[in-house]
Structure 1
Amino acid sequence: MPDGPAAVPGSRPAVARLPLLAGAAAALLAGLYGGLALLVPEAPAPAALAEQHGPLMALGFLGTLIGLERAVALRRPWGYAAPALSALGAAALAAGAEQAGRLALTAGGGWLVGIYLALLGRRLSRAAVIQLAGALAWYAGGLLWLGGRPVHELVVWFVAFHVLTIAGERLELAHVAFLRREAAGGLTAAAAVLGAGAACSVWAPGAGTRLAGAAMAAVAAWLAWHDVARRTVRGRGLPRYAAVCLLAGYGWLAVAGVLWAATGLRAGPYLYDAALHALFLGFVMSMVFGHAPVILPAVLRVRLPYRPVLYAPLALLHAAVAVRVAGDLAGAGAVRAAGGLLAEVALLMFAGCAVAVTRSRTRSPSGR
């Protein structure tokens, strides 16, 4: 995220932002527990956590993280209302107050739109417009949710939020790396098709989902070809680690796009599960792993140095997604559950590794 503030060596931690990060962490834990209840029905979990597993992860956890990072980039106090609203919405969902949670999460998406409009006022760019489109997708999906639409009919909107946000950020970095202006047109076109697929899904869910899937595959192909990760993967330390996260994630985005385009998310629960988790776990969470060493210093002014141990949760995450998708394709519930449990372990392992390396006093030259 190039326009976010860089961490200043020796600067004091931004303690005031910790409650917002804690809200995101709480949403993550609630979402993981809900996911565990879906994988293992015998697990003693409140019904609300299982029912709201998707919104807790996609909007409560990830939405709060994205809103917090954008508020830091804005450098205006009013921007922090976006992550605060999404964190409060996640807490309400977890507590069983569904309507209040929907309202707060939708308001968080709308506030994020305001942040992007303010950032666009400072510097107009194609990348920022694509990210704004992602925030609008969150807000539009939230309004439909408030209107009574079930979550499974809104998945395309929430996926568009994540895919467009990430694609816009990567386009911004690609421009920094001297991307040819005409090359960006391909990503813009794919983003427009993804938005059209989301809009179409309101009236024709199958057709809209298939169109969105084709767009996701196109976005994956564009990113895999144009992203600077293709060069930095040949480097060392943090640049190489981040590149591995990104390129592996693009692979899962392509897999998800193909599954969406082929099934329209209407081919039964197993393929539905594979299509969703290839995207949210394989793609989005891999992006989180790759960007965390940059985001955490910018947001909290706390250094997260690169250590090779960060590859352990990354490898486990992608192995878990592969196991889960294989189980879904084979119709093997036990294999799918095993993959899901391994993914939860990978996410918790990454959090533990991040805390451990942040607290480490040693410095690694290769991680700079």
Structure 2
Amino acid sequence: MPNLPPPGRAPLLIGGFAGLIAGVLAGLWRFGWPMPDLVAGAPHGVLMMCAFFGTLISLERAVAVSQAWAYTGPLAGALASLALIAGAPGLSVALGFLVCGVVLIAASACAQRRHDAVHTRVLTLGAVSWLVGVMLWLWQQTPDAAQWWWLGFLVLTIAGERLELSRLVRVSPTMQRLFVLIVALIVLGLVAASVGDTSVLGGALIALAGWLFKQDIARRNLRARGLPRYIAICLLSGYLWLMAGGTLLLTTPSPGSAGWDSAMHTLTVGFVFAMVFGHAPIILPAVLRVKVPYHSGFYLPLVGLHLSLALRVIGDLGDLFALRAHGAMGNALSIALFVLIMVTTATLARARTPTA
């Protein structure tokens, strides 16, 4: 079956990015920043985890397997994203994300059949984690338990992709077995976190950060120049936040307590978005077939993201609401600047490309 051409993929990507914009604005609304009525009270976590990341990763997986049926996943995700923003009933939105999750698992299983390895199994496990989260959200009508499985989806997806690339520096059998053990602990930690105990998950994430620091090719690329070095700095800085987030989960007793906002956002903003910043110059050309030439301006949103997150953590741990609010705004502006730089760079590169 033929792959969907890039012009057909762009609307799916736009649907996912609509979820990102609405999710970020909904998060800022919670801090008292004036926002449009459309996002006032909107489910910030669902928009970020499902509408944005679920749709985006399912689109990436569809491109990877090169099967037309696989695009029904990101299509369902994009439509559910727009429906969620428009205020559609939760059941119809959840059903859209359920379809997206089922197709994502099928596409992941397809990739696994083509190349059965530890990293493809972990990617499939990550897809299953996302669907479990959607089902919990649909069943409980609250994302409280689902958020852990959505976090697991992102962590396992990133871990699987980094394991695949770490083969370039050769993963010993011992390190592979250790990786599998860490993944098993993450899954166990997700189950425990769903019922209120985050300590197992925290310890597993610390172990994963240590494994990635030791094994990832990013350490070698620090000596390189240009895009490889930029990607390496994104990844290694993200691993630091992963370790910090795991540590906070070990010490944070319950939602709403001091450190809770820090625990969640060191993982989702510090770790996950650092990975997004690092991988976007590679993923965008693969998905949309547009060039994204590297330049030093890529560092501006990365530095802004880390500094504003540090401000947010200080405000949270010190119970200083104003610092938390300004840190959250800094996170949003850094993400917006990153998107603007990516779009501008790709547009300028396309304008300079001679037509046949």
| Residues 267 and 112 (structure 1), Cα distance of their counterparts in 2 relative to 1, 3 Å cut | closer
Correspondence 1:158-197 to 2 at 5 A: 158-197=150-189
Return the alpha-carbon distance in structure 1 between the equivalents of residues 235 and 293 of structure 2.
18
Report the number of matched residues. Answer: 347
CA distance in 2 between partners of 1:16 and 1:86 (Å): 15
CA distance in 2, matches of 1:161, 1:139: 9
308, 313, 328: which one pairs with 1:340?
Answer: 328
Identity of paired residues, percent? 39
Question: C-alpha separation between the residues in 2 aligned to 1:237 and 1:43?
Answer: 38
1:271 paired to 2:263:
no
| Residue of 337, 345, 352 corresponding to 1:357 | 345
Letter of the structure 1 residue corresponding to residue 174 of structure 2: E
Matched, 1:218 2:207: yes
SS of 1:304's equivalent in the other structure is coil
| CA distance in 1: counterparts of 2:52 and 2:146, whole angstroms | 17
Deviations 1:253-288 (A, max 9, x none): 111111112124x06354221111111110101100
1:307 counterpart residue number: 295
Specify the code of the residue in structure 1 equivalent to 2:196. G
How many angstroms does 1:66 deviate by? Answer: 0.9
Q: Is the 8 A contact 1:224 1:247 kept in 2?
A: yes
Deviates more, 1:174-183 or 1:253-262: 174-183
Supply the distance in 2 between the matched residues of 1:361 and 1:28 (Cα, whole angstroms).
25
Q: Could you tell me how far 1:219 is from its partner in structure 2? A: 0.8
CA contact (8 A) 2:291 2:349 kept: no
**Residue deviations 1:277-318 (CA, integer Å, cap 9, x gap):** 111110101100000010001000001111100000110011
Q: 1:148 aligns with which of 117, 140, 150?
A: 140
Distance of 1:356 and 1:253 partners within structure 2: 30
Distance 2:299 2:23 in 1: 24
Alpha carbons 2:290, 2:350 under 8 Å: kept: no
SS in 1 for 2:116: coil
Using the size of structure 2 for normalisation, the TM-score is 0.93
* Separation in structure 1 between the aligned mates of residue 37 and residue 298 of structure 2, nearest angstrom: 30
Q: Does 2:7 match 1:18?
A: no
Deviation string for 1:155-180 (max 9, x for gaps)?
A: 21111000000000000000133222
Letter in 1 for 2:62: A
Contact 2:209 2:243 in 1 (8 A): yes
Partner of 1:124: 116
Distance in 2 (alpha carbons) for counterparts of 1:85 and 1:106? 9
Gaps of 5+ in 2: 352-356
1:72 match: 63
The answer on whether the counterparts of 2:291 and 2:350 sit within 8 Å (CA) in structure 1 is no
Amino acid at match of 1:76: Q
What code does the residue aligned with 1:226 have?
Q
| In structure 2, C-alpha distance between the alignment counterparts of 1:222 and 1:175, rounded to whole Å | 14
Instruction: Please give the per-residue CA displacement for 1:138-171, whole angstroms capped at 9, x wherever unaligned.
Output: 1111111111252122221111000000000000
Are residues 267 and 362 of structure 1, via their aligned partners in 2, closer, same or farther at CA, if it must alter by over 3 Å? closer
Q: Residues of 2 paired with 1:51 and 1:20: CA distance? A: 21
Structure 2 match to 1:321? 309
Q: RMSD between aligned alpha carbons?
A: 1.8
1:84 aligns with 2:99: no
2:225 matches 1:233:
no
- Closer, same or farther: CA 41–345 of 1 in aligned 2, 3 Å: closer
Unaligned runs of 5+ in 1: 6-12, 364-368
CA gap of 1:46–1:361, structure 2 versus 1, over 3 A, is closer
